[in-house]
C-alpha cells in the first residue's frame, strides 16, 4: 500500500509517494511554484490559486494512474496566507501569501498598522502575512470580495478542490497560523475578532485531529497540516526527545513539548491535540551564507574572473583553515529578528593575524548556528526541556559539512541529517496514512 503527500510551498510544489508499512520514499516530484501575480504595490505578494491547482492535479493524476494501491492523500503547504472562498467553496481572490506586507502598512487606523494596533490594544503578536492581519486590512479598505463567505490556506483550498467540499475545515496547526488564535484552548479569539467587525461565521471550522475531508478518486484526503508541523513529522516522526533544526532560505528551530510555552522569539504551535512545537525562527538563516557567496562572487567578477558560484572555493578555504577557532564573530541578523525587525547584523573580533577569508566564512556559519542556539536556550531555560539529539533538515545544512560540525559542537549533541529532502510532503503523507 502507498500514501501520497503534497506540499504547496511558496516557490516549489512537492509531491511524494511513500510505500507502507516500511515508510520508504518511492518517488518525489518537485515543481516550480511560479504562480506569483503582477501587483500594483511592492508590498503585495499574491499567487494564483487556479494556477497552483493546475500544477497539482495533473501530477497527482499521473501518480494515481501509475499506482493503484494508494490508500491516502495528505496535504501541507505555506502557512499563514489566505484565499477567499464563496459559498460554493470556489476561490474568489488571489492567494494573499505569508510574505504579503499589508499588515505593516501605517494607514490602517490613526497612522498605525494592523499589527501595531493589535499589539498596543490587546498585547497580541500578529505578524504581517498572517491571514487575519490580511483580512483586517482588506476589511478596512473594502478589499474583501463581495461574494466571499470564508477563507482558508492554500493547502486547505487544495483539499476542498480535491474532495468537492464547499466549506473549509482547518487542522489546528493551520488555524493557529492565521493569527488571533488561542493555542491553549484551540479556538479563535472571537471577542477580539468580533470587536474588530469580523463576523465569526466568516471564520473556518477547526478540527483538533487530522481527519478526512472526503475522497478523491475514492481515496481519503486528509485535512492539511502546517508545513512546520509536517516537516517535523517528516523528519523526526513521533520522537518527542529531539530538536529539529531546519536551514534553508531562512532557518528555524522546533522542540516538541506537551506543555505550552511562549517567550521572546518563541511561539507555541499546535502539533497534535495535546502537544506543541515550540518554534523559533532566524529570519536570515541560509540567506546569510548565500549573501556571503554573492559578496565573493562580486569581487571575483570585478577582478576579471568568471561570474560563477563560489561555494566550492569557500569550502576549500574552510578545509584549509589552520585553526578553526580563529574566526570572526558575526551576528547574522541581517534581516532583523521577529522581535526587532530593525535590528542589524554585526562583525567583530577582527585582528591582523585572522584577517583572512576563511575566518569570515566560518564566522558566518558560527553566527547562523548561534542564532538558533540562542532560541533553544530560551526554550531550555524556561521549560527545562533538554532533548537528547539534534536532527537537521534543509539544503542549507544538508549540503554544508562545516555547518553540520558547527551545529554538533554548539549544541553538544549527536546530529542526524534527514535523508529525504521533501520533509514536509513526506510528513503530510505519513499523517494521512495514520489518520
Mean pLDDT for 421-425 is 91
**pLDDT tens across 30-72, in order?**
999 999 999 999 999 999 999 999 999 999 999 999 998 999 9
Listing DSSP states for 28-44 in one string gives EEEEE---BPP-SSTT-
Confidence of residue 284 (pLDDT cuts 50, 70, 90): confident
CA pair distance 287, 332, nearest whole angstrom: 9
**Predicted pLDDT at 113:** 95
Q: Are 88 and 29 in contact (CB under 8 A)?
A: no
Q: Are 33 and 55 in contact (CB under 8 A)?
A: yes
Nearest Cα residue to 407 out of 367, 380, 379:
367
* CA distance from start to end of the chain: 15
**pLDDT tens across 272-282, in order?**
888 999 999 88
Tally of CA atoms within 13 A in the half-sphere of 344 that contains its CB: 2
Q: How many residues does the chain have?
A: 435
Nearest Cα residue to 363 out of 411, 330, 392:
330
**Predicted pLDDT at 341:** 75
**pLDDT tens across 294-351, in order?**
999 999 999 999 999 999 999 999 998 877 778 999 999 998 887 777 889 999 999 9
The pLDDT of residue 435 is above 90: no
Would you state the cell numbers that stand for residue 256, as one nine-digit string?
A: 516538541
**Predicted pLDDT at 27:** 93
Q: Which of 10-14, 148-152, 176-180, 249-253 has the lowest mean pLDDT?
A: 249-253
**pLDDT tens across 65-111, in order?**
999 899 999 999 999 999 999 999 999 999 999 989 999 999 999 99
**pLDDT tens across 385-401, in order?**
999 999 998 888 988 99
What is the DSSP pairing of strand 329-331 with strand 24-32?
A: unpaired
The pLDDT of residue 379 is above 90: yes
CA pair distance 100, 156, nearest whole angstrom: 19
**pLDDT tens across 142-170, in order?**
999 999 999 999 999 999 999 999 999 99
Alpha helices in 165-282 (DSSP H): 172-176, 190-195, 227-236
Q: Are 96 and 81 in contact (CB under 8 A)?
A: yes
**pLDDT tens across 215-260, in order?**
999 999 999 999 999 999 999 988 889 999 998 878 899 999 999 9
Q: Residue 116 belongs to what H/E stretch? A: helix 114-122
**What percentage of the chain exceeds 70 in pLDDT?**
100
Which residues are CB-contacts of 183 (< 8 A; sequence separation ≥ 6)? Answer: 172, 176, 260, 268, 269, 270, 276
Helix (H, G, I), strand (E, B) or coil at 142: coil
Confidence of residue 118 (pLDDT cuts 50, 70, 90): very high
Confidence of residue 207 (pLDDT cuts 50, 70, 90): very high
CA pair distance 359, 363, nearest whole angstrom: 6
Amino acid at each position: 500500500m502507498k500514501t501520497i503527500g503534497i506540499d504547496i510551498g511558496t516557490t516549489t510544489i512537492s509531491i511524494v509517494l511513500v510505500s507502507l508499512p516500511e515508510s520508504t520514499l518511492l518517488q518525489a516530484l518537485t515543481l516550480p511554484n511560479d504562480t506569483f501575480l503582477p501587483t500594483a504595490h511592492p508590498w503585495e505578494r499574491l499567487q494564483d490559486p487556479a494556477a497552483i491547482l493546475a500544477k497539482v492535479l495533473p501530477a497527482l493524476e499521473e501518480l494515481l494512474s501509475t499506482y493503484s494501491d494508494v490508500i491516502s492523500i495528505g496535504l501541507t503547504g505555506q502557512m499563514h496566507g489566505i484565499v477567499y472562498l464563496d459559498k460554493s467553496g470556489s476561490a474568489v481572490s488571489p492567494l494573499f501569501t505569508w510574505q504579503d506586507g499589508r499588515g505593516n502598512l501605517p494607514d490602517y487606523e490613526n497612522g498605525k498598522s494592523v499589527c501595531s494596533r493589535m499589539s498596543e490594544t490587546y498585547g497580541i503578536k500578529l505578524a504581517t502575512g498572517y491571514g487575519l492581519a490580511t483580512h483586517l486590512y482588506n476589511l478596512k479598505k473594502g478589499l474583501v470580495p463581495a461574494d466571499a463567505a470564508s477563507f482558508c490556506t492554500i493547502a486547505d483550498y487544495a483539499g476542498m478542490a480535491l474532495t468537492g467540499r464547499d466549506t473549509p475545515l482547518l487542522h489546528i496547526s493551520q488555524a493557529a497560523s492565521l493569527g488571533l488564535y488561542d493555542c491553549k484552548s484551540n479556538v479563535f479569539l472571537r471577542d477580539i475578532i468580533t470587536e474588530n467587525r469580523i463576523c465569526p461565521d466568516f471564520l473556518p471550522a477547526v478540527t483538533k485531529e487530522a481527519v478526512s475531508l472526503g475522497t478523491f478518486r475514492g481515496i481519503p484526503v486528509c485535512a492539511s497540516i502546517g508545513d512546520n508541523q509536517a516537516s517535523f513529522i517528516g523528519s523526526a516522526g513521533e520522537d518527542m526527545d529531539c530538536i529539529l533544526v531546519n536551514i534553508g532560505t531562512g532557518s528555524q528551530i522546533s522542540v516538541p513539548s506537551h506543555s505550552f510555552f511562549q517567550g521572546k522569539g518563541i511561539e507555541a504551535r499546535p502539533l497534535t491535540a495535546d502537544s506543541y512545537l515550540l518554534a523559533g525562527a532566524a529570519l536570515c538563516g541560509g540567506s546569510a551564507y548565500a549573501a556571503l557567496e554573492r559578496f565573493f562572487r562580486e569581487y571575483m567578477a570585478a577582478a576579471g574572473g568568471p561570474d560563477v558560484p563560489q561555494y566550492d572555493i569557500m569550502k576549500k578555504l574552510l578545509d584549509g583553515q589552520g585553526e578553526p577557532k580563529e574566526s570572526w564573530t558575526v551576528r547574522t541578523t541581517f534581516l532583523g529578528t521577529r522581535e526587532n525587525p530593525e535590528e542589524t547584523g554585526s562583525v567583530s573580533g577582527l585582528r591582523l593575524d585572522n584577517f583572512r577569508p576563511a575566518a569570515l566564512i566560518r564566522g558566518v556559519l558560527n553566527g547562523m548556528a548561534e542564532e538558533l542556539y540562542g532560541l533553544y536556550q530560551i526554550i531550555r531555560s524556561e521549560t527545562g526541556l533538554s532533548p537528547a539529539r539534534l536532527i537537521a533538515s534543509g539544503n542549507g545544512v544538508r549540503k554544508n559539512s562545516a555547518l553540520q560540525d558547527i551545529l554538533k559542537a554548539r549544541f553538544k549533541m549527536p546530529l542526524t541529517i534527514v535523508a529525504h529532502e521533501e520533509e514536509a510532503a513526506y510528513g503530510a503523507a505519513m499523517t494521512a496514512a495514520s489518520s
